[in-house]
Amino acid sequence: MTRALVVHHDANSTAGIVGDVLMADGVELAHHTICTTLGSPEPGGALPDLDGHDLLVLTGSRWSVHDLDTIGAWITDELELIRDADRRGIPTLGLCFGGQAIAAAHGGRVAPSDDPEIGWYDIETTRPDVIAAGPWFEWHFDRFDPPPGSTVLARSAAATQAFRLGPHLGLQFHPELDAELLALWILDDADQLTEAGIDVAELVASTVRHQEAARPNTARLVRWWLDGLP
């Protein structure tokens, strides 16, 4: 059986729809949460190694990859885990913060965005057959420059949205997001929405409207990644 290590950065995180698709395709998921206390950037323990795992999945976070003052206790180790996965030939899928981490680990740059995106957005895609134009859920205040040697697959006016580097796929958007996961994020991250002037009730309502259409888009994207693995 194919086994995936799913790394969560925050205590209010799940693999959402992405996890559902992986499990439906027979992938066994092993979960590790870095920050185990809600709202705290402190790690609850060391990262696991990759022995016995065939895939690595990195979910999102309220933290910033470049904010070493806040997450310096663990982000360096995570970037090394990503590089170790590459050395072992273990394909990695990164969702938002996870996509930024893949970019940073392989020589890309992560920095604050001039145009944060929160909500459901259409994107420009070079592969509409596997990465739909959307709408996809976005919640990010940073953006990444893709790593050298990668192929950009999707963009928005604000940021690169998807890149492929060998077997690794980095995304800026959140294909895992449904209303259930959004409710978990709001438990601790509503402050970000308030500061950004986002109407929380409307964000929830739009998620309820879009999530069913997002499910097949996510399934197509994840299965394309799986089908292309060595």
Catalytic residue among 96, 117, 138, 168: 96
Catalytic residue among 53, 106, 140, 174: 174
Q: Is 210 a catalytic residue?
A: no
Q: Cα dist. 199→2, 72, 89, 189, 193 in Å? A: 41, 32, 43, 13, 7
How many angstroms separate the CA atoms of 171 and 121, rounded? Answer: 14
Please, which residues bridge with residue 174 across strands?
137
Tokens encoding 162: 């998807």
CB 46 within 8 A of CB 76: no
Q: Is 124 a catalytic residue?
A: no
> How does DSSP assign 150-206, residue by residue?
-EEEEE-SSSEEEEEETTEEEESSBTT--HHHHHHHHHHHHHHHHHTT--HHHHHHH
What secondary structure letter does DSSP report for 37? S
For residue 30, give the nearest of 10, 11, 50 by alpha carbon: 50
For residue 207, give the nearest of 139, 137, 150, 160 by alpha carbon: 137
221: helix, strand or coil: helix
Q: Is 174 a catalytic residue?
A: yes
Q: Give the residue numbers annotated as catalytic, written as ranges.
A: 96, 174, 176
